[in-house]
Amino acid sequence: MKDTDEKYMKEALKQAKKAYALEETPIGCVIVHEGKIISRGYNRRNTDKNPLAHAEITAIRKASKKLGDWRLEGCTLYVTLEPCQMCAGAIIQSRMDRVVIGCMNPKAGCAGSVLNLLQVDRFNHQADVTRGVLEEKCSELMKSFFRELREKKKKKEGA
Ligand SMILES: [Zn+2]
């Protein structure tokens, strides 16, 4: 873990809250290059009606545009929830140096839970991974989202 990890994870949490406000699963992401945030993203899957609209994909697309390169060497990606298989794949494809994760996703995560696609020796690139940065805050946001969702559902069913 680096000194600045919590600071950038807080920024990723801000993005996650944007998703929350749209009633999307609250997942947020920022990408840092040379000590600066170069892109941000949050989950918009329902809003955009797009299975690709994950926080990480959005942030990777913007970061590549900003750097004018598909390679994101020297970049660190901060994400509030462990990446899925698609995002872990995109992270490796982008040659990202490092990934910092808030909380893990035991049922779907591909950075150590179900699989660890970020660190397969036989691929041509592996990313350094740091887990559990502001873990409580990240998981509490998810929990409160799903709690609220269940309550809303109950109210609907009751009406
Ligand atoms: Zn994903």
Active site residue 24: no
Strand order in the sheet with 98-103: 36-42, 28-33, 75-81, 98-103, 128-130
Tens of pLDDT, residues 127-140: 999 999 999 999 99
Range 28-41 average pLDDT? 98
pLDDT over 80 at 65, yes or no: yes
Q: Do 62 and 89 touch, CB atoms closer than 8 A?
A: no
Query: Which pLDDT belongs to residue 159?
Result: 66
- Confidence grade of residue 146 (pLDDT, cut at 50, 70, 90): very high
Binding site: which residues? 54, 84, 87
Tens of pLDDT, residues 72-108: 999 999 999 999 999 999 999 999 999 999 999 999 9
Task: Give the span between the Cα atoms of 64 and 115, in whole angstroms.
Answer: 26
CA 153 to ligand 1 centroid distance, Å: 25
CA 159 to ligand 1 centroid distance, Å: 35
Query: Which pLDDT belongs to residue 1?
Result: 85
pLDDT over 90 at 29, yes or no: yes
In this structure, what token pair is assigned to residue 7? Answer: 């600071």
Tens of pLDDT, residues 10-20: 999 999 999 99
- Confidence grade of residue 157 (pLDDT, cut at 50, 70, 90): confident
pLDDT over 90 at 158, yes or no: no
Binding site for Zn(2+): which residues? 54, 84, 87
pTM above 0.85, yes or no: yes
Choosing from 6, 24, 56, 136, the catalytic residue is 56
CA 113 to ligand 1 centroid distance, Å: 14
Cα torsion angle, 14, 137, 90, 70, sign: positive
